[in-house]
Amino acid sequence: MSEAITPDAAEPPPASVRVWDPLVRVSHWTLALAVAVAWISSGDASTAHLAAGFTVLTIVAVRSFWGLAGSPHARFDDFVPTPAGFLAYCRDLIGGHARRYIGHTPAGGAMIVALLACLLLTTATGVGLQYGVPGDFIREHDLEEIHEAAATGILVLVGLHVAGVLLTGLMHRENLVRAMLTGRKHA
């Protein structure tokens, strides 16, 4: 028979909790590196650009699977907000009183969805440019324009992501970059 633990005998809560599993952290930083390599090598179909693009495509596929079957804070159902939840969080953020989340904030969750979609569009159009598109579905010039616009969209989203991480980190006095390196956040 187990003994009941009284509040006086309970251990103090942990100073930090595990939030981001290794797959989330490794895919995050590998994706950041692959996007940087793809951007730096853009303008030609170099080996580096193609390798970076296929790395991005692989990470998007793995992260999408992990969003369905991964650890609790990696799952889409943990962080993809409703439109009303997203707008309410943004209103509170602008007002300076957004609540703290252990996992992704609603804005962070929306950012992940937007980034995954933009990354998928960029890599899909890149594959189409490299290997061709069956039939006369789309002209190569139009495909290239979509590819470049989506790549620019990634940069805009990355800028917003970094700004959001800095703003939220300052607001809650929390080093979110360290959390994405160690996997742990303050409890």
What pLDDT is stored for residue 5 in this prediction? 40
Residue 6 inside a domain? The answer is no
Quote the CA–CA distance of 156 and 140 in Å, as a whole number: 24
We report the CATH number of the domain holding residue 35 as: 1.20.950.20
In a domain, 8, yes or no: no
Quote the crossing angle between the two packed helices 83-94 and 106-131, to the nearest 10°.
120
Shortest CA distance to 58 belongs to which of 66, 70, 69? 66
Domain housing 120: 20-186
pLDDT at 70 over 80: yes
14 within domain boundaries: no
Q: How many domains does the chain have?
A: 1
Backbone angles phi, psi at 176, to 5 degrees: -75, -25
**Residue type for position 174:** E
Domain membership of residue 122 (yes or no) is: yes
Q: Is residue 153 part of a domain?
A: yes
At 60, the pLDDT band (50, 70, 90 cuts) reads: very high
Contact between 160 and 118 under an 8 Å Cβ cutoff? The reply is: no
pLDDT category at 8 given cuts 50, 70, 90 is low
Give the model's confidence band at 119: pLDDT under 50 very low, under 70 low, under 90 confident, else very high.
very high
pLDDT of 6 over the 80 cut: no
Residue 75 to residues 44, 67, 80, Cα–Cα distance (Å): 36, 4, 9
Residue 13 belongs to some domain of the structure: no
